[in-house]
Structure 1
Amino acid sequence: MRNLSILKAARGGRAPRRAMPLVLLTCLCFFLSAEGSAADTACRKGQSFDAWLSDVSAEGARKGLTQRSLSELQGLSLDRKVLARDRGQPSLSLSFTEFADRLISRNRLSRGRAMLDRYDSTFAAIERDFGVQGPVLAAFWGLETDFGGYMGEFSSLRSLATLAYDCRRSELFREELFAALALLERGDLTPEEMRGAWAGEIGQVQFTPSNYLKFGVDYDGDGRRDLVRSVPDALASAAKFLRHLGWRANEPWLEEVEVGPNVPWDKAGRGHYRSRSEWARDGVRRRGGGRLPADRVDAALVLPMGRDGPAFLAYRNFDIFWEWNNSSNYSLAAAYFATRLAGAPPMRRGNPAAMLSSKELLEVQTRLNRLGYDAGPPDGRLGQKTRAGVRAAQLAFGLPADGYPTRALLERLRRQ
């Protein structure tokens, strides 16, 4: 959840295979050195890791932590593999359909539906108590850890201590380290159970320790908030967190649609809300050609691969997927996965223009910025800022302003 890096999945072979959970996939997306990376210690003024840990222990004692938890800091060492992951840069870019294909395998769909059946009464109770639908919870559960099948192998305390000692985001991870120690103090987990992703996320839905403290729920009534071994605790905690983020009970989150040629493309994009009646008037139809309800329900038209690719109406609840993990591909894939688990058919892929390479996208960003169309810092990745810059340039050039960069746009920019 709210992962500090965006990970991508991969699967291969002729027969369907279980898609990997996000915590297992870092190696497929990041260039890592064999030896790992060194910590940024500029802010430490020569203080060693062991001396720094002693200061952390003293501060923890002042915060009310006892030796029961603070003793777990003794003997920790810096984990250079964690630093390498933190320094890693994405080595590939995937289109939305490629990303969704690799995350949402046939096996994962089948297992997700089986989990909805297996824990039917639990999902029903959670929806009554928190207002979050079962397919939504199952989608996050499946994408984060393959339904608890793989939660990560890093020592959470060692990872958090490493990232807190490092100067790049020290304060953020220092607080997460204290939160992890508080979980031990409270008795929710043992040190042996506190293993997970490289950045310290824990459990079947990959909570940060601070969110584990705030939103962990003892839903099975055994006296522990156990998000590692208890499926009811993990799912209820995810629902509590989603409700905190603003989830609206009994409301939709995403719907695949069809678009006509006269849609105002410049009004598309995540967060650009209009009523369904307005979208219907402009040629947006339900999958299969059915009419949208002529009502005032807010929806945004999301075109991840431009006007010729898949099209979705994203409702207010879709914003919560973005809050969980603010990656365009991840949030849309998770929401789409939830619709599939709820019974929607596979999306129509259309015939979109080929996605630009990272190098080409970097050139587009650089040229847009030079011409005054703010595309954000050039990084070779298609984020919301870049889409906005692309849309502005398309409007200026008299092109359909769907926010999707193509080679035709790149050639146009080169001629400016």
Structure 2
Amino acid sequence: MRIKPCASRSCALTLAAFPGMIGSLLRARNFGELLHMLRPLLAAVVVCLTGGSAQAARCGGDFDSFVASMAQEAQAAGVSAGVTNAALGGVTQDAAVLAFDRRQRYTFKKSFEQYVSTRVGPGRINGGRAMLQRHAALLSRIEQQFGVPRHILVAIWGLESDFGKGDTGKLPVVRTLATLAHDCRRTDLFQGELLAALKIVQRGDLPLRDLIGAYAGEIGQTQFLPSSYIKYGVDFDGDGHVDLRHSVPDVLASTANLLHTNGFKMGQPYGEGTPNFEAMREWNRAVVYRKTIGYFADRLAGQ
């Protein structure tokens, strides 16, 4: 029998997680616990083999019908009915999000000189140096574990949220992502992000009321998209939750984990054309932005 390709992101995301589930499955204490752990995977397999009802939701058209399809897909991916009902019940489109999305693509049309002059000034450099001192012990632990220099991490932190003091977004992430997913321009991207956002709530990392972010669904002090939150998030303060909104240890360690996982190497140059510069592409594809990270890091290091 020829297995059909997965027809939805929920199926693909669940099956992709299978290798990481093996260790947990081996630790199951009894058959009932094993069956409970396997249930989300088995649901996705059924969807793959049968082309069942949890198909990828179609963009455009009636918004409520689209949201209902996304709820079905989320449940096939292992998100509980309680979470999907609470998150998606009564959700409406946000016209301001669509308007912003159509404007923001021009952000990086500026030259490096124009862009860096608006983002890295004496005040922000001094603020970054203060953060380096305040969190010196934490940053040493992160450097040792992930091999990413503190100046790069603090530069990103400063650019994304002014070290957690700036605007990290005030919009309900689920509403934002449902709006963008329904828009047909990048529906696959944002349907995947919406599923990941629901999984953040399902895991218990953030309660739904605290799942607040920016105009593309970015969350927290270094503005992680939900898929990156799930993939790279680290509970570095040991409280059992990955909290990228309030926990500085989690924020900085997760940022380091993203860069480390994508090949960033301690002690190597990070200017344009280097492997480290390419590793930062997972953070932001814009060359101007990555050059600004490097410039800011150099200023923090006193270069």
Q: TM-score scaled to structure 1, two decimals?
A: 0.56
Partner of 1:199: 216
| SS of residue matched to 2:210 | coil
Q: Which of residues 79, 100, 112 is equivalent to 1:85?
A: 100
Partner of 1:102: 118
| Aligned-pair CA distance for 1:64 | 1.6
Partner of 1:336: 295
Query: In the alignment, is residue 70 of structure 1 matched against residue 87 of structure 2?
Result: no
| Aligned-pair CA distance for 1:45 | 7.0
Matched AA of 1:119: H
| Structure having the larger proportion of residues in helix | 2
**How many residues matched?**
243
- Conserved? CA contact 1:321–1:332, under 8 Å: no
Query: In the alignment, is residue 327 of structure 1 matched against residue 280 of structure 2?
Result: no
Matched AA of 2:216: A
Written as runs of structure 1 = structure 2, the 5 A alignment for 1:159-238 is 159-238=176-255
| SS of residue matched to 2:155 | helix
Partner of 1:261: none
Matched AA of 1:338: A
More relative contact order, 1 or 2 (CA 8 Å, 6+ apart): 2
Q: Which sections of structure 2, spanning at least 5 residues, go unmatched?
A: 1-57
Matched AA of 1:318: F
Query: In the alignment, is residue 122 of structure 1 matched against residue 151 of structure 2?
Result: no
Q: Measure the CA separation in 2 of the matches of 1:93 and 1:210.
A: 26
Does the C-alpha gap of structure 1 residues 92 and 117 become closer, same or farther in structure 2, counting only changes over 3 Å? closer
- Conserved? CA contact 2:60–2:182, under 8 Å: no
- Conserved? CA contact 1:68–1:185, under 8 Å: no
Partner of 2:173: 156
Q: Deviations over 1:228-267 (max 9, x none)?
A: 100000100000100111101222324xxxxxxxxxxxxx
Q: Measure the CA separation in 2 of the matches of 1:179 and 1:331.
A: 25
| SS of residue matched to 1:85 | helix
Query: Percent same amino acid among aligned pairs?
Result: 44
| Aligned-pair CA distance for 1:323 | 3.5
Q: Which moved more, 1:93-102 or 1:219-228?
A: 93-102
| SS of residue matched to 1:151 | coil
| Aligned-pair CA distance for 1:44 | 4.7
Q: Measure the CA separation in 1 of the matches of 2:241 and 2:66.
A: 31
| SS of residue matched to 1:188 | coil
Does the C-alpha gap of structure 1 residues 320 and 65 become closer, same or farther in structure 2, counting only changes over 3 Å? same
Written as runs of structure 1 = structure 2, the 5 A alignment for 1:278-293 is none
Q: Deviations over 1:48-89 (max 9, x none)?
A: 111211111122122221133102101110011111112225
| Structure having the larger proportion of residues in strand | 1
| Aligned-pair CA distance for 1:324 | 1.7
| SS of residue matched to 2:158 | helix
Matched AA of 1:166: D
- Conserved? CA contact 2:168–2:219, under 8 Å: yes
Partner of 1:143: 159
Q: Deviations over 1:66-114 (max 9, x none)?
A: 1331021011100111111122253895332221111001111011000
Q: Which of residues 131, 149, 154 is equivalent to 2:147?
A: 131
Does the C-alpha gap of structure 1 residues 51 and 146 become closer, same or farther in structure 2, counting only changes over 3 Å? same
- Conserved? CA contact 1:216–1:233, under 8 Å: yes
Matched AA of 2:80: T
Matched AA of 1:96: F
Does the C-alpha gap of structure 1 residues 75 and 251 become closer, same or farther in structure 2, counting only changes over 3 Å? same
Q: TM-score scaled to structure 2, two decimals?
A: 0.76
- Conserved? CA contact 1:252–1:317, under 8 Å: yes
Q: Measure the CA separation in 2 of the matches of 1:44 and 1:231.
A: 37
Does the C-alpha gap of structure 1 residues 92 and 173 become closer, same or farther in structure 2, counting only changes over 3 Å? closer
Matched AA of 1:82: V
